[in-house]
Chains A and B, each alone.
Chain A
Amino acid sequence: EAGVAQSPRYKIIEKRQSVAFWCNPISGHATLYWYQQILGQGPKLLIQFQNNGVVDDSQLPKDRFSAERLKGVDSTLKIQPAKLEDSAVYLCASSLKGFETGELFFGEGSRLTVL
């Protein structure tokens, strides 16, 4: 079974530029999550999708971050314009049943460096 795929693995940009990350979850997983992981901290949930609908985006900085999950499969997270404090690893995860079981499957992450 293929795991959660993310790209790109690494991205370096200047502040005020834009960047997009892509995620393809495990086949059949209805729930998809984007997390931000800053060095030395645990993951922080940015947005949760159930199929192609948003369940929770309360911690997504909507003035600069956006995410979509067209057709309820893969998803894109965009940052525009980027700030220095956005430097982090962006993790995508998927699950079969949502948070009920707590079993999330994570991709390898996309490491963003903002200069």
Chain B
Amino acid sequence: AQSVTQLGSHVSVSEGALVLLRCNYSSSVPPYLFWYVQYPNQGLQLLLKYTTGATLVKGINGFEAEFKKSETSFHLTKPSAHMSDAAEYFCAVRDDSNYQLIWGAGTKLIIKP
């Protein structure tokens, strides 16, 4: 069965610093991968997705993620953190048996001034 692991329930970075949120998945075939963001008291919003093709995917608000098949990873990065990036970030993989999304437990990003 496919699964998603997000390392670190909380990640704290200083404003202007690099943001790195880790996501590893288990899948026997190249998966569809997603990052969603949930701002406080709001619903989840698609940040970016990988389906096929280029392994470096750019999303909204300056975020990007790289699909690394050899490492079964899809880490999310942003070169310079902004206070408005404070939110919870969820990684998900599409289960190819039923097309449902399998979600990680989420990582709360805290931005220090």
Q: How many A-B residue pairs have CB under 8 A?
A: 53
| A residues in contact with B32, CB < 8 Å | 102
* Interface residue count on the A side (C-beta < 8 Å): 22
Chain B interface size, under 10 / 10 to 19 / 20 to 34 / 35 or more: 20 to 34
| A residues in contact with B101, CB < 8 Å | 45, 99, 102, 104
| A residues in contact with B99, CB < 8 Å | 98-100
B44 touching A91 by the CB < 8 A rule?
yes
Of residues 86 through 113 on chain B, the ones whose CB sits less than 8 Å from some CB of chain A are 90, 92, 94, 98-101, 103-106
A residues neighboring B (CB under 8 Å): 3-4, 40-45, 48, 56, 91, 93, 98-100, 102-104, 106-109
A106 touching B45 by the CB < 8 A rule?
yes
Of B4, B43, B94, B104, which contacts A99 at CB under 8 A?
Answer: B94
Closest 9 CB pairs of A and B: A42-B103, A106-B43, A99-B99, A106-B44, A108-B43, A107-B43, A102-B94, A102-B34, A42-B105
Within the complex, the shortest CB–CB distance from B51 to chain A, in Å, comes to 8
| A residues in contact with B100, CB < 8 Å | 45, 48, 56, 99
Q: B9: CB under 8 A from chain A?
A: yes
Given contacts A99-B99, A100-B99, A102-B32, contact A42 B104 (CB under 8 A): yes
